[in-house]
Chain A
Amino acid sequence: EAQVTQNPRYLITVTGKKLTVTCSQNMNHEYMSWYRQDPGLGLRQIYYSMNVEVTDKGDVPEGYKVSRKEKRNFPLILESPSPNQTSLYFCASSLVNGELFFGEGSRLTVL
């Protein structure tokens, strides 16, 4: 089954404790991206990647890092999480110029 898998789905952590949200897709898509969704603000792009070792900033990259060492994986790294990064995060993938396929989301709470 074609899918985008995110882990963990739910996480509560404390300020400053590094964490990684993993994202994996099995559709051989070149394009992958991360979004955060906050009430009233819709979906905002954090980072995107056109292919392996090619990443670029979206609209809200501050406080986040990403890497794309393999085509199928695109982890989101929060080196020192802060409460304002409490949000619902979505990973998505697509062929270039194609429709986005989203994961089920990862709800992160930073205390």
Chain B
Amino acid sequence: LAKTTQPISMDSYEGQEVNITCSHNNIATNDYITWYQQFPSQGPRFIIQGYKTKVTNEVASLFIPGDRKSCTLSLPRVSLSDTAVYYCLVGVTAAGNKLTFGGGTRVLVKP
């Protein structure tokens, strides 16, 4: 069961890049790393998923070093609407695998 550690909160300004790190020392070989975004009173929604190296989609990039014991979610040029809580999830939806979310990182984007 991979336990994750993220910063509790981060402040940024519109147009800046936000990088959120997540540590997961006991990641298992078949675990994926997935990031979710959650707005108040809504369910989390998927942002990006990766296994190793770098993954990029239209909203974010995910950097995973060779040892896979940490990762960095990068949000380019954030806007006010990116203010949310971001969760790093390490695991896989397979038999016998509980999924444990960390406490999340509250990102506040200021004008």
Min Cβ gap B96→A in Å is 7
Interface residues in B19-74 (C-beta closer than 8 Å to A): 32, 34, 36, 41-46, 49
A104 and B92 CA atoms in complex are apart in Å by 22
Q: What 0/1 pattern do residues 98 to 111 of B give for CB contact below 8 A with A?
A: 11111110000000
A42 and B8 CA atoms in complex are apart in Å by 11
Q: A33-B99, A50-B95 are in contact. Are A42 and B43 (CB under 8 A)?
A: no
Chain B residues contacting A96 (CB-CB under 8 Å) are 93-94
Count of interface residues, chain B, beta-carbon cutoff 8 Å: 24
Q: In the complex, are the beta carbons of B101 and A42 less than 8 A apart?
A: yes
Chain A residues contacting B93 (CB-CB under 8 Å) are 31, 33, 48, 94-98, 100
Q: What 0/1 pattern do residues 72 to 111 of A give for CB contact below 8 A with B?
A: 0000000000000000001010111111111111000000
Q: In the complex, are the beta carbons of B103 and A40 less than 8 A apart?
A: yes
A interface secondary structure, majority: strand
Q: In the complex, are the beta carbons of A58 and B98 less than 8 A apart?
A: yes
A101 and B46 CA atoms in complex are apart in Å by 7
A54 and B95 CA atoms in complex are apart in Å by 9
Chain A residues contacting B95 (CB-CB under 8 Å) are 50, 54, 56
Q: In the complex, are the beta carbons of A104 and B43 less than 8 A apart?
A: yes
Interface membership of A65, Cβ < 8 A: no
Chain B residues contacting A41 (CB-CB under 8 Å) are 103
- Can you sample 22 A-B contacts with CB below 8 Å? A41-B103, A44-B100, A44-B101, A45-B99, A50-B95, A56-B95, A56-B96, A58-B98, A90-B43, A92-B43, A97-B92, A97-B93, A99-B46, A99-B49, A100-B36, A100-B44, A100-B46, A100-B89, A100-B93, A101-B46, A102-B45, A104-B42
**Additional A-B contact list (8), CB under 8 Å, known A59-B100, A90-B44:** A58-B99, A90-B43, A92-B43, A95-B93, A97-B93, A100-B36, A100-B89, A105-B43
